[in-house]
Amino acid sequence: MTDVCGRYAPTPSGRLHLGNARTALLSWLWARSLRGRYVMRVEDLDPGRSRAEHERDQLADLRWLGLDWDEGPDVGGAHGPYRQSERGEHYAAALARLHTFECTCTRRELREATFAPHGREPVYPGTCREGVSHPERPRAIRWHTPPGVMELHDAIQGPQREDVEREAGQFVLRRADGAWAYQLAVVVDDAAMGVTHVLRGADLLHSTARQVLLQRTLGLPTPAHAHVPLVVGPDGEKLGKRHGAPDLTALREGGADPQRVVAALARSVGLVGASVVRVRARALVADFDVTRIPGHDTALESTDVQ
């Protein structure tokens, strides 16, 4: 086994859909093709949305697909705990090393102050940098983001460049309700667990520059990154229930053939030919090349997995 380490980090707030399954499969293939370790980490930072039953089903679904892991909440390991809800002391130690300030602004106030459309994260205008605007409110903790342009290369999406201070602003590291922010937690955990290769969905590409900047500021290594495209239906929209797409638990409990599911996921990104209808995940390891994955959204017929 090499020093390579990959990971998959699901949020136990619901069932895994086919897009989640494909990302997990590709992440596992990348690590295993490089003869690396693989870590399963549960990103349950939000106690209001995370459920133990979702975690149980997600792990069962991934094993049903043919994936395995060397470390995780159900198998243990040298770098635990593997649930983010149990790693608060690690995040607190990292936070203490950063130049931060408290903020009492609400999301609505920030959207109105920056004219950001609903659903889109506004760039923080600096309201509380010199002192909180509403002392009676709970306080989030934001980072005094240092200036500078982050440049990095994504194995699938190619060169990326972002001025984090200008484009993301002084982003939150700990929420006003006490929950740790994803950006800080993922950086701390990847370093602590020795993760060297991160493959995840393209919807998280916008987070990468912030995480790289945090890594460099904290003196932590930066993993290699690969962001896979979305899985879409025949109409070009993100694959979902309206396309008749079942979730993994429904497939598993309904008696679906996991090798048929793996083949459909592999076909959608060109890992196998159109004639392949059944394949074991392990059989894809030897020929896997992350650079073969297309950077654009790819279609998947929900009937292919049923």
DSSP 79-101: T---BGGG-HHHHHHHHTTS-EE
pLDDT of residue 231: 86
Averaged over 119-148, what is the pLDDT?
A: 91
pLDDT of residue 177: 94
Strand partners, 7: 39
Contact, 9 vs 41, CB < 8 A?
yes
Averaged over 52-68, what is the pLDDT?
A: 98
Look at the block and give the residue holding tokens 């760039």: 123
Averaged over 276-295, what is the pLDDT?
A: 96
- Mean pLDDT of all residues in the chain? 93
Measured CA to CA, the distance from residue 83 to residue 106 in angstroms comes to 28
Read off the pLDDT band of 134 (50, 70, 90).
Answer: very high
Alpha-carbon dihedral 296, 54, 173, 96, rounded to 10 degrees: -130
Read off the pLDDT band of 119 (50, 70, 90).
Answer: low
Averaged over 151-165, what is the pLDDT?
A: 96
Q: How far is CA 273 from CA 46, 161, 239, 263, in A?
A: 40, 34, 21, 9
Active-site choice (107, 166, 241, 292) = 241
Domains 5-81+229-305 and 89-186 share a fold: yes
Measured CA to CA, the distance from residue 230 to residue 221 in angstroms comes to 27
User: Where are the chain's structural domains?
Assistant: 5-81+229-305, 89-186
Read off the pLDDT band of 204 (50, 70, 90).
Answer: very high
pLDDT of residue 127: 93
pTM of the entire predicted model: 0.94
pLDDT of residue 118: 61
| 236 has a pLDDT exceeding 80 | no
pLDDT of residue 245: 77
pLDDT of residue 112: 86
CATH code assigned to 5-81+229-305 = 3.40.50.620
| 157 has a pLDDT exceeding 70 | yes
Of all residues in the chain, what percent carry a pLDDT higher than 90? Answer: 83
In CATH terms, the fold of domain 89-186 is Rossmann fold (3.40.50)
Q: Tell me, yes or no, if 238 is annotated catalytic.
A: no
Averaged over 28-39, what is the pLDDT?
A: 98
* Nearest of 210, 113, 222 to residue 170 by alpha carbon: 210
pLDDT of residue 89: 98
| 232 has a pLDDT exceeding 90 | no
| 302 has a pLDDT exceeding 70 | no
